[in-house]
Amino acid sequence: MEWYDSIWLRRYFAAREIIRRVAPSRLADFDAAMAVFRTDPAYEVKYVSGFLDAQALQDMRETVAAIPRDKLELHEMKKFGRLVVHDWPPFVEMQARIVDFVSELAGERVEPCYNFLSLYSRRGVCEPHLDTPSAKWTFDLCIDQSEPWPISFSSIIPWPDSRDALVDDWRAVKEARSQYEIRSLALEPGDALLFSGASQWHFRDPIPADGRRAFCDLLFFHYIPEGTAELVQPRNWARLFDVPELDTIPGIALHA
């Protein structure tokens, strides 16, 4: 069974081990700083019906249709059955405009991190996974679809203490024997929802095809707690916590 790896959490586990070994007095500071990326266990997914009215939805579809083909990223077609476009300028502008609205839904002040358009095909699927905290909050907006395609969420989870515990958790969700409550929601075009992907297992079963053209066009706006743009990037941890050894973690310099 293939593990849907959380690269950020792998670095987080490695960082805690290094700090525990070389600078144990700083571990409490590291844990306290990272607590901002955890989510209140009482949080429930917020559903926003009719976020885009008919005219705004039509404008959005025209914006999507106007994206040049050479801007569509192909690297997720095999695993997810989707084409993607990251940080398209009109979507960046929209993401900034709705910060106050998303902050109210999240119950904390947030700032934009990144966004991407996801054009799922009839091969569309999304295995159970956790997002990195650079997507602590995801505002998921449905633009168009062949038919409603539910997304499932677990209740808010505490971060596990090790990668092995995380894998065990993932297997339980994948095999439908999780201790966490699983809830499914389906969006209609123009509807949106806000969930906390860094603290909620979430997934979509294979898109219903039935021999017909099946598709789902979604726009994901990812937000982080206000003021955490440096902290969310593992490449900054050695400097922020004055532990040079953290720069030895494999892949630590890469964008999270």
Q: What is the DSSP string of 125-164?
A: -EEEE---GGGSEEEEEEEEESS---EEEEPP-PPPSSHH
Q: CATH code at 105? A: 2.60.120.590
**Strand 216-225 and strand 137-145: pairing?**
antiparallel
pLDDT recorded at residue 5: 59
Range of lowest pLDDT (53-57, 173-177, 211-215, 237-241): 211-215
Give the mean pLDDT of 111-137. 90
Residue 94 has pLDDT above 50, yes or no: yes
Could you give the angle at which helices 7-22 and 27-34 cross, rounded to 10 degrees? 160
In-domain check, residue 56: yes
Which domain, by its residues, includes 183? Answer: 38-225
Give the mean pLDDT of 130-135. 91
3-state secondary structure of 222: strand
Residue 221 has pLDDT above 70, yes or no: yes
**186, exposed or middle or buried, with CB in 10 Å at 0-12, 13-18, 19+?**
middle
Give the mean pLDDT of 64-78. 89
In-domain check, residue 68: yes
In-domain check, residue 140: yes
pLDDT recorded at residue 238: 97
> What is the C-alpha to C-alpha distance for residues 223 and 110, in angstroms, rounded to an integer?
6
- Which residues, at least 6 apart from 239, have a Cβ–Cβ distance to it below 8 Å? none
In-domain check, residue 128: yes
In-domain check, residue 193: yes
pLDDT recorded at residue 251: 86
Give the CA diameter of the chain: 60
pLDDT band (50, 70, 90) for residue 1: very low
Edge-to-edge strands of the sheet including 46-48?
46-48, 192-195, 137-145, 216-225, 110-120, 82-86
Residue with tokens 């901002």: 36
Edge-to-edge strands of the sheet including 126-129?
126-129, 202-204, 151-154, 182-185
Domains contained in the chain, number: 1
pLDDT band (50, 70, 90) for residue 206: confident
In-domain check, residue 233: no
> What is the pLDDT of the chain when averaged over all its residues?
91
Cβ(60)–Cβ(52) below 8 Å:
yes
In-domain check, residue 27: no
Give the mean pLDDT of 205-231. 90
pLDDT recorded at residue 194: 98
pLDDT recorded at residue 211: 59
Range of lowest pLDDT (14-18, 82-86, 221-225): 82-86
In-domain check, residue 50: yes
Range of lowest pLDDT (67-71, 113-117, 205-209): 205-209
pLDDT above 90 coverage of the chain, percent: 68
pLDDT recorded at residue 138: 98
Distances (CA, A) of 78 to 16, 71, 86, 241: 34, 18, 18, 39
**154, exposed or middle or buried, with CB in 10 Å at 0-12, 13-18, 19+?**
buried
pLDDT band (50, 70, 90) for residue 3: very low
pLDDT recorded at residue 165: 80
Range of lowest pLDDT (95-109, 155-169, 196-210): 155-169
Report residue 185 as tokens: 């929601």
Q: Which pLDDT tens digit goes with each residue over 8-51? A: 888 999 999 999 999 999 999 999 999 999 999 999 999 999 99
pLDDT recorded at residue 222: 97
